């Protein structure tokens, strides 16, 4: 669907009239901030071994591989600005039009855009910890400074390289985040599905919870998803859609 003035007005009406609207976001929402997605047209999977970068088994063998390759798209996050998508989602929450934001992203940009109730189901680089020593923690800014200097964060007790609290392949999703996300998806009468191909589970199952409980989906993604036919509305261009929503919010 083209993001015409009428289509944006209808989308805004859906959001305003929903009793418990929730958003699910994937890597596509951050491309407007200059962060490449994973499975999109110009995704990292096209020229980078992302599965190896985020492999727990490989991290245990050679943590330097993660820090060397993740530096360019994780530890320069502080240099990135929230896009119109992040900002509008933050404003929707502020006005009470969005109850929760479930994200697969690990870039912290939703928080920068003003969202408060962010459920990070794939973890977060905000904290790094030792896989051996309990209680050893290091924050994002300190780790980023080390990575930019060509170093890695290490445990002061055992010297082991610290791991980010990102969910790597081979790890379970954070149990509490998954519980909260599932509860929000089940309660939602409207879910905005934004910038995700809906191919990575269990995150991709969240819209199914909403549909099974009688809720509606609105999907905005630059590639088809398995649930397009089940959606009340589908759009392709996140930037155009959210610029239109920003204008609608400004007009009241």
User: Mind telling me the catalytic residues?
Assistant: 122
- Residue 10: CB atoms within 10 Å: 15
φ, ψ (nearest 5 deg) of residue 233: -145, 145
Question: How far apart, in whole angstroms, are the C-alpha atoms of residue 175 and residue 213?
Answer: 22
Burial class (CB in 10 A: 0-12, 13-18, 19+), 107: buried
Cβ-Cβ contacts under 8 Å for 217 (sequence gap 6 or more) = 190, 191, 193, 207, 210, 211, 227, 230, 231, 232
């Amino acid at each position: 669907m083209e993001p015409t003035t009428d289509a944006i007005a209808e989308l805004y009406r859906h959001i305003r009239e929903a009793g418990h609207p929730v958003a699910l976001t994937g890597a596509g929402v951050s491309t407007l901030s200059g962060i490449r997605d994973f499975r999109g047209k110009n995704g990292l999977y096209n020229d980078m071994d992302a599965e190896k970068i985020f492999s727990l088994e490989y991290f245990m063998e050679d943590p330097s591989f993660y820090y060397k390759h993740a530096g360019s798209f994780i530890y320069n996050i502080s240099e990135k600005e929230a896009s119109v998508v992040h900002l509008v989602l933050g404003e929707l929450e502020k006005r009470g039009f969005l109850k929760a934001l479930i994200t697969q992203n690990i870039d912290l940009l939703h928080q920068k855009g003003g969202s408060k109730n962010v459920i990070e189901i794939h973890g977060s680089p905000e904290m790094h910890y030792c896989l051996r020593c309990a209680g050893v923690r290091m924050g994002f800014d300190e780790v980023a400074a080390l990575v930019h200097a060509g170093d890695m964060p290490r445990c002061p007790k055992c010297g082991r390289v610290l791991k980010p609290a990102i969910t790597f392949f081979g790890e379970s999703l954070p149990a509490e985040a998954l519980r909260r996300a599932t509860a929000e998806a089940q309660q939602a009468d409207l879910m905005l599905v934004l910038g995700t191909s809906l191919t990575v589970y269990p995150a991709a199952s969240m819209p199914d919870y909403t549909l099974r409980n009688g809720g509606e989906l609105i999907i905005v993604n630059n590639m088809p998803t398995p649930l397009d036919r089940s959606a009340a509305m589908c759009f392709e261009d996140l930037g155009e859609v959210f610029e239109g929503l920003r204008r609608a919010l400004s007009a009241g």
